[in-house]
Structure formats: C-alpha cells, structure tokens
C-alpha cells in the first residue's frame, strides 16, 4: 500500500525567508513522487516530480525537492518565499504497479510581508 504524510497542515513564513514543506511517503514499490500546488479557485498545478532519476528535483517558481530513500522523505523547499507562493501544497505518490495518485492532506502556506 502507498501513502503520504504531510507533517504540517499550516506553515507561515515571512516574505524573503526559506520555505520547507515536509512530506514522508510509504510505498512497497519504487515510487514516483510529485508536488502539486493549488491556488484558491484554480486547478492543481504540477510543481515538480521525481521518477527515479536525479534525487534532487528542480521545479517551477524556484521550488525544489530532494528524494531521500533512507528517510522516506520528499520535502519541498524554496530559498526565498514570495507573496504569490501562498497556496495549498500537496505531496503525491504513485508507483509503477498502479496508476493511482495518492494525495496527502495538504499544507497551507501563508506568506507574510
């Protein structure tokens, strides 16, 4: 069985400071991992994905994530938060034996001026 756990339901940062959104996964098979972002009243947008290539994955808008198998983690980071980063972020897992995306419960990121 596969699952993801997003360790923080809310994260608040000041503009210009680093962002860390934490995600741990569980998968019996080699996982593929994704981060999606959801702005209010907009569709989910893919930030980045890991599919067994480089463990450090760079995405859009300056975000990146590192796949750490030993820690079963896939944390999302950004060096400097922008006001426009305020949104809901979802960590997602799937694997080669299934076509189903399993979403975490989401982390709401607030960015203060």
Partner 1 sequence: EAGVVQSPRYKIIEKKQPVAFWCNPISGHNTLYWYLQNLGQGPELLIRYENEEAVDDSQLPKDRFSAERLKGVDSTLKIQPAELGDSAVYLCASSPKLVGTDTQYFGPGTRLTVL
Interface positions with partner 1 (CB under 8 A): 32, 34, 36, 41-46, 49, 51, 90, 92, 94-96, 98-101, 103-106
Which residue, 63 or 106, has its beta carbon nearer to partner 1?
A: 106
CB-side neighbour CA atoms (13 Å) of 113: 0
- Report, in Å, the least distance between residue 64 CB and partner 1: 17
What SS3 class is residue 60?
helix
Which residue, 15 or 101, has its beta carbon nearer to partner 1?
A: 101
CB–CB of 4/91 below 8 Å?
yes
- Report, in Å, the least distance between residue 81 CB and partner 1: 22
- Report, in Å, the least distance between residue 103 CB and partner 1: 3
Q: How big is the chain by its Cα radius of gyration, in Å? A: 13
CB–CB of 90/38 below 8 Å?
yes
């Amino acid at each position: 069985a596969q699952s993801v756990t997003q360790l923080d339901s809310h994260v608040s940062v000041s503009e210009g400071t680093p962002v860390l959104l934490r995600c741990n996964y569980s998968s019996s098979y080699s996982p593929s991992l994704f981060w999606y972002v959801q702005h209010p009243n907009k569709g989910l947008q893919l930030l980045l994905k890991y599919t067994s290539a480089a463990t450090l994955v760079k995405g859009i808008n300056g975000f990146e994530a590192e796949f750490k198998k030993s820690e079963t983690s896939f944390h999302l980071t950004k060096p400097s938060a922008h006001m426009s980063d305020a949104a809901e972020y979802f960590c997602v897992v799937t694997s080669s034996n299934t076509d189903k995306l399993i979403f975490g419960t989401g982390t709401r990121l607030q960015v203060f001026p």
